[in-house]
Structure 1
Amino acid sequence: MSKTTEKVRKTLARRYRAERRFKAFGIVSIVIGLSALLLLFGDIIGKGHSAFFEHYVELSITYDPETLEIEDANDPEQLRYGNFEGVVRAAIQERFPRVEERQDRRALNALLSTSAGYELRDRLEADPSLLGQKETLWLQLDDDADMFLKGSEKQRENARLSPQQREWVLDLEAAGETRSEFNRSLFTSGDSREPEQAGILGAILGSVFTMLVTLALSFPIGIAAAIYLEEFAPKNRFTDFIEVNINNLAAVPSIIFGLLGLAIFLSWFGMPRSVPLVGGIVLTLMTLPTVIISSRAAIKAVPPSIREAAMGLGASKMQVVLHHVLPLAMPGMLTGAIIGMAQALGETAPLLMIGMVAFIVELPTGPLSAATVLPVQIFLWAGSPEQSFVALTSAAIMVLLAFLIAMNTLAVVLRKRLERRW
């Protein structure tokens, strides 16, 4: 008896050691995963936070009619062709009167963004009485000067400004004639080749229109398919074949759906390229397996007693499904649909195949307008040589992650609040 007890104790000791090792491995895995996630987020935030603000310089602007070549500020034609850039150049050269060489003046003018002239045009169009007057304005700096002011001492040494340009910017900073403001254009403008004017509003609107098309198609079709397969379809080889293919489609690489959209919707049906309607249809095909599988799981979770009780009271099969099974399964269906939409929101490959990688400046107005989406905008900016686009890329990633986290949080909240325990 004592030998048997001793063997059992040794066996238990080995089991306990194995359990402790397994627990330690699990803890180490979690720590490594969280560390990698924090490192990734820290790198993105560290590079992208500077894109949320931009620098301006204070200048005294004179709306000189001769320089502007405008006689009547109420004439839209004269305003359209007015020499507002000349007024901006005159203002910055007035601030640095000792700069006389032509090459130096060109370098000085390069410190200001090209958006300054458009801002003056808008102000004169809104208030024609400014013609011939003088006012002090804060005008946007060029992206190189902006990055110089945002950078640390080491980063300023590697800035793209010439030594003379650095002296001018430092002079403005020391005189208190520069200030930092929230980058409104990031959320109010479309794409631009000038980093300080580029924004993500066009990409956000494109994503919204694409997601609306995806939701309008995938949710009702996915729920209808799940109800038919789970409640009405006979169990035979044909339905087994459909179920196997739905499960297989959930694992198909997303670029395959892009190739399908390119071959069917663009080449065969002749639909326009780079529009949210086609993008939404392609993402619908990719999202449908996820919606169908999650909806079928939600329907299966409804207890059979609910169906039996309803049918015992004389309800038809359709009434049982629509009045009892579907309302009880809807929380799980909504959760699956939101997760599928979050997956579609972050997709890039299928949209690249249907041409949503175009350079779009104008804001889209509907599903048939030329547009891009947020992940593709990130892809475009990541390949740009300008240093300022690195910060814009990280900022756009932060916005995309915020949307994805919000959608997944919504799915969790809906599941917790609407789920029923049987």
Structure 2
Amino acid sequence: MTDIPFDQAGAVDAVAPPRRDIGIQRRYRAERRFRLYGLIAIGIGIFFLAALLFTVVRGGYTAFWQTSINLAVSFDPDVIDADGKRDSDPNVLATANYPLLARNALATKLGIDVDAEGNRAELRLLSGMISQGVRTQLRDMVLADPSIIGTTQNVWVLAAADVDSAHKGQIDLSVPESRRKVKDKQVGWMKTLTADGTMIERFNRGLFTFGASSRPETAGMGVALIGSLYMMLIVLVLALPIGVAASIYLEEFAPKNRWTDLIEVNINNLAAVPSIVFGLLGLAVFVNFAGLPRSASLVGGLVLTLMTLPTIIIATRAALKAVPPSIRSGALGIGASRMQTVFHHVLPLAAPGILTGTIIGLAQALGETAPLLLIGMVAFVADYPATPLDPATALPVQIYMWANEAERAFVERTSGAIIILLLFLAAMNLAAILLRRRFERRW
């Protein structure tokens, strides 16, 4: 019989069992790898986002500056009204050859004789340096104040698109003259005008005020901004009350049965439907059936309302569910009716989530293009829409149209419009975050 050692207390001196490897180190290594994968994924996302923003900003920041030329324009009566008929025929002032006045002013600035026979080629090159939008600019000046006829006025006129691109360094002037639109004489004149401060880059207000134009230097987002504003107002006025009312009924009053379950499933499915389907629906219902005008902000707003409703309903129902049941029980316990409980207690507490969902829905609608293309909002609209029934376009559609243009100068305007759209979307999402943090209550 083998003796078993005892300690001083008389207990058996137990032999320690071998240590088991239960995989703790392996799990720690897996956790570290998972964290590394997450950091790599975030880094890749940030890299591509930064590359996108850098590309857009690099190609679009120059759109906010436009090359302009300061000219002493002589409003020669022999050019504007040679026969003196402006009193009897007001159309004389509207149809005068105003680009000729600008060209003569530029020729005078550069010391070129406009009456010399051998200068015709130079005069054509001079005309090519000035935007044809000068016709409208000088005409509006004369129509607003006919007394300037016979006087000389200092006027800032826009340079032509190719001259503007060359002045900004976007055209390689080292290539042979035959392979570029800006000729060597024009380059020399540009240097002369830049040296004496006559040609400079000024803030491009026209980018925000001009309408559609086939000339890049006179093309702007004014009509698109007004159209987008009309549509967002229509979406806000229609989608918010309808969406909130539907959410309150489904969450607070509707009986739980297969019909409400079917409605909830369809709402969730509508939120995932491609936006172009809503465009087809709007074309069939609002344009073909209801007879509303194509390319009108009203039709665009109605289509975007249908697209935004599921987002607002889902966000509102989530906000209502987040309100603790004790709020409802307490209100009912002190004698409040079901309606008073919802509108006096539950709805105010859910308001931050409702506002957040609404702003996110509006931001989504602001960036939509496909449904607006189907209802004809790609029309060439140069005049501001006075009402939502007038022809208009939208900011994302304007970007789409500029991206399809062949002119080199439209590239920077496309990127500039994208910057504006991204700023609007960022501001709306930031407002949603701030509103949630400002009014949210944690339970």
Q: Is the 8 A contact 1:147 1:159 kept in 2?
A: no
- 1:64 corresponds to which letter in structure 2? D
In structure 1, what is the equivalent of residue 33 of structure 2?
A: 21
Structure 2 Cα separation of the partners of residues 281 and 381 of structure 1: 25
TM-score between the two structures when normalised by the length of structure 2: 0.90
Deviation string 1:293-315 (CA, Å, 9 cap, x unpaired) is 11001111111111111111111
Q: Is the 8 A contact 1:55 1:180 kept in 2?
A: yes
Q: 1:97 aligns with which of 109, 112, 117?
A: 112
- 1:131 corresponds to which letter in structure 2? I
Unaligned runs of 5+ in 1: none
Matched, 1:371 2:396: no
Q: 1:148 aligns with which of 166, 171, 174?
A: 166
Q: Is the 8 A contact 2:93 2:143 kept in 1?
A: yes
Q: Is the 8 A contact 2:81 2:93 kept in 1?
A: no
Unaligned runs of 5+ in 2: 1-14
Structure 2 Cα separation of the partners of residues 330 and 106 of structure 1: 64
Q: Is the 8 A contact 2:75 2:148 kept in 1?
A: yes
In structure 1, what is the equivalent of residue 295 of structure 2?
A: 274
In structure 2, what is the equivalent of residue 82 of structure 1?
A: 96
Greater Rg by CA: 2
In structure 2, what is the equivalent of residue 258 of structure 1?
A: 279
In structure 2, what is the equivalent of residue 43 of structure 1?
A: 55
Instruction: Give the secondary structure class of the aligned counterpart of 2:21.
Output: helix
Measured after TM superposition, the shift of residue 72 of structure 1 is: 7.5
- 1:20 corresponds to which letter in structure 2? R
Measured after TM superposition, the shift of residue 3 of structure 1 is: 6.5
Measured after TM superposition, the shift of residue 413 of structure 1 is: 0.4
Q: Is the 8 A contact 2:165 2:171 kept in 1?
A: no
- Structure 2 matches for 1:149-228, cutoff 5 A? 149-151=167-169, 154=172, 157=175, 159-228=180-249
Distance 1:46 1:271, change over 3 A: same
Q: Is the 8 A contact 2:64 2:416 kept in 1?
A: yes
Q: Is the 8 A contact 2:57 2:416 kept in 1?
A: yes
Measured after TM superposition, the shift of residue 98 of structure 1 is: 6.1
Structure 2 Cα separation of the partners of residues 363 and 156 of structure 1: 42
Measured after TM superposition, the shift of residue 421 of structure 1 is: 1.3
Deviation string 1:356-389 (CA, Å, 9 cap, x unpaired) is 1111111112211110000000000000001110
20-29 vs 397-406, greater mean Cα deviation:
20-29
Distance 1:189 1:393, change over 3 A: same
- Structure 2 matches for 1:58-69, cutoff 5 A? 58-69=70-81
Q: Is the 8 A contact 1:73 1:124 kept in 2?
A: no
Q: Is the 8 A contact 1:68 1:86 kept in 2?
A: no
TM-score between the two structures when normalised by the length of structure 1: 0.94
Structure 1 Cα separation of the partners of residues 261 and 150 of structure 2: 80
- 2:430 corresponds to which letter in structure 1? T
- 1:7 corresponds to which letter in structure 2? D
Structure 2 Cα separation of the partners of residues 196 and 267 of structure 1: 37
Q: Is the 8 A contact 1:64 1:132 kept in 2?
A: yes
Structure 1 Cα separation of the partners of residues 73 and 418 of structure 2: 38
Structure 2 Cα separation of the partners of residues 394 and 223 of structure 1: 37
Structure 2 Cα separation of the partners of residues 374 and 337 of structure 1: 20
Distance 1:297 1:150, change over 3 A: same
Distance 1:73 1:174, change over 3 A: farther
- 2:112 corresponds to which letter in structure 1? P
Structure 2 Cα separation of the partners of residues 73 and 53 of structure 1: 37
Distance 1:272 1:411, change over 3 A: same
Deviation string 1:249-268 (CA, Å, 9 cap, x unpaired) is 11110000101111111111
Q: 2:133 aligns with which of 99, 115, 121?
A: 115
Measured after TM superposition, the shift of residue 138 of structure 1 is: 2.8
- 1:12 corresponds to which letter in structure 2? I
Q: Is the 8 A contact 1:74 1:128 kept in 2?
A: no
Q: Is the 8 A contact 1:342 1:404 kept in 2?
A: yes
Instruction: Give the secondary structure class of the aligned counterpart of 1:57.
Output: strand
Structure 2 Cα separation of the partners of residues 132 and 124 of structure 1: 11
Deviation string 1:84-108 (CA, Å, 9 cap, x unpaired) is 2221222223334168343432222
- Structure 2 matches for 1:392-407, cutoff 5 A? 392-407=413-428
Distance 1:153 1:257, change over 3 A: closer
Matched, 1:137 2:151: no
- 1:138 corresponds to which letter in structure 2? W
Structure 2 Cα separation of the partners of residues 277 and 135 of structure 1: 43
Matched, 1:408 2:432: no
Instruction: Give the secondary structure class of the aligned counterpart of 1:54.
Output: strand
Matched, 1:308 2:326: no
- 1:390 corresponds to which letter in structure 2? V
Deviation string 1:177-203 (CA, Å, 9 cap, x unpaired) is 211100011111111111111111110
- 2:203 corresponds to which letter in structure 1? F
Q: What is the root-mean-square deviation in Å for CA atoms of aligned residues?
A: 2.0
Aligned residues: 420
- 1:97 corresponds to which letter in structure 2? I
Q: Is the 8 A contact 1:73 1:125 kept in 2?
A: no
Instruction: Give the secondary structure class of the aligned counterpart of 1:20.
Output: helix
- 2:324 corresponds to which letter in structure 1? P
317-326 vs 335-344, greater mean Cα deviation:
317-326
- Structure 2 matches for 1:210-359, cutoff 5 A? 210-359=231-380
- 1:102 corresponds to which letter in structure 2? R
Q: Is the 8 A contact 1:55 1:181 kept in 2?
A: yes
Measured after TM superposition, the shift of residue 127 of structure 1 is: 4.0
In structure 1, what is the equivalent of residue 3 of structure 2?
A: none
Distance 1:73 1:144, change over 3 A: same
403-412 vs 165-174, greater mean Cα deviation:
165-174
Matched, 1:7 2:50: no
In structure 1, what is the equivalent of residue 8 of structure 2?
A: none
Structure 2 Cα separation of the partners of residues 156 and 53 of structure 1: 24
Greater helix content: 1
